[in-house]
Structure 1
Amino acid sequence: MFSGLIPTGDSLGHPLIAFQFTSPGEEILRLGSFRLKWYGVLIATAVLVGVNLSMRLAKSRNIDPEAIADLAIWLILGAIPAARLYYVAFEWQTYSQHPEQIIKIWEGGIAIHGAIIGGSIAATIFAKLKQLSFWQLADIVAPSVALGQTIGRWGNFFNSEAFGRPTEFPWKLYIPKDRRPFEYINSDYFHPTFLYESLWNLLVFIVLMWLFINDNRHHRLRTGSIFLVYLIAYSIGRFGVEGLRTDSLMFGSLRMAQVISLAGIAIGSIGLSWLYIRRRSLPDVV
């Protein structure tokens, strides 16, 4: 999976500690035509861990955990297809030549911003039908989303995708030649942006859990605050990491993930201002 700590030296002879990542491959095992891939296993693990955590958090807020289990089905049905369609839309030049590849989601190629949009729409419909507060549900689910992203990003590592520009930093990711962009074909090592984002998401998860637990004790946060903090914090990290990546989804000369991240920061900031400066509740379905 990775070569570990490797002593190296810089041009001045000072010792450095390098941490070199090398993917062992995208498959866990193959039995005939059956292939079990790390990407799919990690996504499934993220979903299962996230649902279990959300059900526990719901119970602490006196909300029926079974409602969260039902919501999880809605989120999966809304988020995963939307994440795939979002990705395919911006890579249509490639998929238009091979439309049979569109459904092969297990081979990678989903966009978290598409998942957030699709999941939010599904959650809004679910909340309306069940007459539950959308923002209360969002606060409960937000830590699980951050944790799921922490786990899911490692799928990019095993697929040798979503990496950054070439680097000679002490920490680096080896990318096989057949996965490198043409302009970097002679570069062996790249920024492990999957790791940067995974670690950032882990930090976001810790912050959200601290807010959630503290609010359970003191009841000082207004409904929707935790989700809005997630939106801002995740977007800040994604904006920075996206600037390093070589495979950004583009709209003209704009990196779409950075555009959406700026929108997320703005929406989150406006929402928190609405809650704590104007002292008003967020619009809700109930």
Structure 2
Amino acid sequence: MSSTAFNPIFLTWGPFTIRWYGFLITVGALLGISLALHEARLRQVDPDQIVDLVLWGVPFALIGARSYYVLFQWPFYAQHPSEIWKIWHGGLAIYGGLIAALLVTIIFTHHRHLPVWLILDIASPSVLIGQIVGRWGNFMNQEAFGAITSRAFLENLHLPNWIIQQMLINGHYRQPTFLYESLWNLLGLIILLSLRHRPHLFKQGEVFLTYVIWYAFGRFFIEGMRTDSLYLAAGLRVSQILSGILFVAAILMIIYRRRQQALSDYVSNQS
């Protein structure tokens, strides 16, 4: 850590310590929940259902995010098992959280007799908000960075000095890949919020699938720039592989569902 880096501790209150990492993740979650409740009302979904989903989804998402990270870093955690629980040191893999949250949403909507695609559409922009804000937790921890670069390169990006100084890690300036992903997600959020209520543009479920396409596309390239990736094998980054699969699968799902709908409409018109 650089001597000029921000203190990763947000607040100390008696025996309690709150780190920026956890604080920012909480802020992102609260902002996302607020947006989801507003959207639920617009789509005639009881907001209490969203609150219940959050109460189930958030804990399992955290467990999934941590489990995913620990799984692919098992040689380290096998030697240091006490570190498994210390999520305030970083080490929450977003894909693990998303997979866990998706499974909880599928089970929850089935149990409550809610349309799963509609709930996923409501949730997707909120997830992006959490990702946008959460990456700044990585910034405070000086993690999720890229290769060694120069101060001149960072200055040419017109970054404020406080970001540049935080990217001075172990004596070297680093690519701010956390920032690239946060900005990519911000752009995706703006696009989704601008377009999701356009008449006849998105069919139910396609806001969610568009989110998957957008995030997976950006993550594939940004992950290739990072130096702290999780690897499946030598040279095979887990998040790049998963991003590629999700990108293709979401596109194929949109095509398949639209063709099925067109076929259904055709059959109905012939009846």
Bin the TM-score by the shorter chain: 0.7 to 0.9
Counterpart in the other structure of 2:66: 84
Q: Which runs of 4+ in 1 moved over 4 A?
A: none
User: Do the aligned residues in 1 keep the contact of 2:69 with 2:92 (CA within 8 Å)?
Assistant: yes
Counterpart in the other structure of 1:24: 6
* C-alpha distance in 1 between matches for 2:77 and 2:90: 13
Please point out which of 14, 22, 28 is paired with 1:40: 22
TM-score (norm 2): 0.87
Q: Helix, strand or coil: the match of 2:142?
A: coil
Amino acid at match of 2:168: I
* C-alpha distance in 2 between matches for 1:190 and 1:220: 40
Matches within 5 A, 1:107-146: 107-146=89-128
The structure where helix makes up a greater share of residues is: 2
* C-alpha distance in 1 between matches for 2:239 and 2:5: 25
Please list every run of 5 or more consecutive structure 2 residues that lacks an aligned counterpart in the other structure: 158-163, 264-271
* C-alpha distance in 2 between matches for 1:122 and 1:219: 29
Q: How many residue pairs end up in the alignment? A: 248
* C-alpha distance in 1 between matches for 2:16 and 2:114: 42
User: Do the aligned residues in 2 keep the contact of 1:113 with 1:257 (CA within 8 Å)?
Assistant: yes
User: Do the aligned residues in 1 keep the contact of 2:10 with 2:23 (CA within 8 Å)?
Assistant: no
* C-alpha distance in 1 between matches for 2:167 and 2:200: 47
Going from structure 1 to structure 2, the CA distance change for 1:280 and 1:223 (only over 3 Å counts) comes to: farther
* C-alpha distance in 1 between matches for 2:181 and 2:54: 24
User: Do the aligned residues in 1 keep the contact of 2:61 with 2:96 (CA within 8 Å)?
Assistant: yes
Deviation sequence 1:124-172 (CA, Å, 0-9, x none): 1100100011111000000000111000000000000110001121345
Matches within 5 A, 1:86-235: 86-168=68-150, 169=153, 170-171=156-157, 172=164, 174-177=167-170, 188-214=172-198, 218-235=199-216
User: Do the aligned residues in 1 keep the contact of 2:139 with 2:178 (CA within 8 Å)?
Assistant: yes
* C-alpha distance in 1 between matches for 2:88 and 2:115: 33
* C-alpha distance in 2 between matches for 1:142 and 1:193: 22
The structure where strand makes up a greater share of residues is: 1
Matches within 5 A, 1:42-81: 42-81=24-63
Matches within 5 A, 1:247-266: 247-253=228-234, 254-266=236-248
Counterpart in the other structure of 1:271: 253
RMSD after superposition: 1.6
| Paired-residue identity, % | 42
